[in-house]
A and B are shown apart, each in its own frame.
Chain A
Amino acid sequence: MNRQRLTWIVIGVVFAGLLVVRGMTGQGLGRVYVQHEDVAYAKVETKSAQGAPTVAWKRVAEGGVADVRWQEWSAVPPKAWFEAQAKDPRQSAITLSWPRTIGLWLAAFFTLAIFSFLWADNVFYKFAEATVVGVSAAYWMVIGFWDTLVPKLFAALVPAVVQAHVQPSLRPVDDVQWWSMALALVLGGMMLWRLAPRGGWIGAWPLAFIVGVTAGLKIVSHVESDLMAQGLATMESVVAVVPGADGATDVGASVWGTLANLLVVVGVLSALTYFLFSVEHKGLVGGTARVGVWYLMITFGAAFGFTVMGRIALLAARFEFLFDDWLWLIDPNHLRA
C-alpha cells in the first residue's frame, strides 16, 4: 500500500469516526424536516385587461369546492420538529424528509470531494467534477429547449400545436412575424452544416450574421455608455464643491473631492498615454506613461483584492453550510434552538 492511499484511508476513517461521534452527541446532525399542507385551487372564468376571456385559478380554503388538489411539502427548521415531538411524540404533521436529507448529505459529500483536490487529484474529485459537467450540460440543453426553442421559435411557427401538446400555458405574442422566425430556423440549420463533411462554408453565413448584429449592438452601447458618458464625466469641473448639512460648503469634503477628481483626470490621461504606442516613451511622454503604468498596477491590485474577497466569501458560505446545515456545530439562524 503506497503512502498516499494510506493517508486517504486514515483521513477517511478519522472523519467517519468523528461523524459517528457527532451524530451520537447533542441533537445529532444533518437532517431535514418537512411539514405538509393540503392545497386546493378552483378554476375561475375571467376576462383579461383587453376583454379577452381567460382562466384564473383561485386558492380555496380547506373543505371548499376545488378543481385540483395536491399536497405541498415545505422544509421547516428542526426546532419545529423538536417542539412538535415534545408536545406529542406520535405527531405526523412534521416528519423527517428522506429525499431532502439525502440531498443534504450529497451536497456535503460533493463539497468535500471538491475540497479534496487541494490535497491531491483523486477519484472523489474526479467523480464530483464529472457530475458537475454532466449535470450542467444536461441542464443547459433543457434550458435551451424549453426557454428558447419552444417559446420563441416553435411557438411563433406553430403556436396551436405548441399550446395543445407542449406548453398549455403558452401565450403567443401576436406581433412576431412567423417568417422572421422561419428565417432564424434556416440560419440555425445552416450553422449546423458546419458539422457536415462537405459544404462547411454554408455555416459561415449565419456566423457572419451573428458577428454583424453583435458588433452593431455592442458598438452603439459602448459608444453611448462608455466612450461618451465616461468621457463627459471626466470632463466635468475638477473643483468639487460639497455642501454640508447646514447648506454651507463643507471645506474638508470639497478638498477631498477635488483631490479625487484630480486623481481621476491624471489617471485617465496617464493611462491613455501608456497606450500611445506611435510615440516613443521617453521624456514627458515616458514619464506620463510611467505614471499610467502605476495606475494600471494599482487597478490590477484592486481587482485582485476584490477577487480574493469574492473567493473567501464563497469559501465561507461552503464552510457555513458544512458547520451549520450538515454538522449542526453552529446555529447562527436559530433553526435548532
Chain B
Amino acid sequence: MAVLLLAEVTDGALAMDATAKAVSAAKSLGDVTVLCAGASASEAAKEAATIEGVAKVLLAEDALYGHRLAEPTAALIVSLAGDYSHICAPATTDAKNIMPRVAALLDSMILTDVSAVVDADTFERPIYAGNAIQTVKSKDEKKVITFRTSTFDAAGTGGSASVEDAAKADDPALSEWIEDKVAESDRPELTSAGIVVSGGRGLGSEENFALIEKLADKLGAAVGASRAAVDSGYAPNDWQVGQTGKVVAPDLYIAVGISGAIQHLAGMKDSKVIVAINKDEEAPIFQVADYGLVGDLFELVPELTEKL
C-alpha cells in the first residue's frame, strides 16, 4: 500500500511541524509520498525530503498552486491519486478546505481530524467536540484522511528522499486569490508551541489582552483565545482555540479569564499541564486544570509575569 500526503506549504515555506506529524501518523499505512505544491515549493520539497519515513517527494510548482485554492489543488491531487490507497494531509484549514473536495471527486467518504490509526481501514476520530471518540472502519477503496496533528509526535529528520516533478493538472478556473491578511508575529506558532497562554472574555477588552501577551512573551509562548474573546473582538480569529478553531496540546496551557465551555475544552484538554486563572471558583475550567488560581486576573497575571 502507498500513501500520498499533501504537505502544508504556505508562500513557499514548509510547515515542518504539521507535515512531520502527519507523516508520523501516515507511516504505518504504507510508503509515504509527500506532495509539495505551490508557486514556489522547491525549497519546501527539499526540506520535506529530510523527514524520516518519507519515500519520495513530488513537487508541483506552478502559479496555479500559489494560494492553496481548493479547486486547482484538489484537481492536482486527484490527477496524482493513481495507485495510492490512502491520501492524507495534516488537518490545517487548507487541508480541511481541499481534502473533502478530493474525497468526493474520488467517490470516497472523507475521514477528518483522525486522532489515531488502528489499522489500514480503521481510524479513531473525535466527535461532539471531543466528548466522544468514534472508531470507524472505512469501506472505501481509497481512504482520504486529515490527521489531527496535536495527537501525533512529529517524525524526525535525517532522511534523504528523492524529489520528482509532478505535472500540473488542468485549471478548473473557478476562483482567484485576492489577498491574505496575516499578522506578523515573532511568537511561536499556536499549534506547535510548547507553551500557550490564552485569554477569555474575562479580559474585558482588546487593550487588556496586552496582559496575556506580556505573560506569553515572558514564557516564549504562543497566544490563544476563547471563542467568546474572539467574538467580542478582543483577539483575532486565528488565535481561537476550540472545537472550531485550533486544537492544541502544549506542555503547558495557561487559561486566563476563560470559563471553560465544552467548545473551548475540545481544543486544549490534551495539554500536558493546564493552569487556570479565574475569579469564579465554580468555572468548569477548574475541572480540567492541574493548577487553579482563584482571583482577580488583573492582579494575578502581572504578578505571575513578574515572578516567572
Do A and B interact with each other, yes or no?
no
Interface residues of A (CB under 8 A from B): none
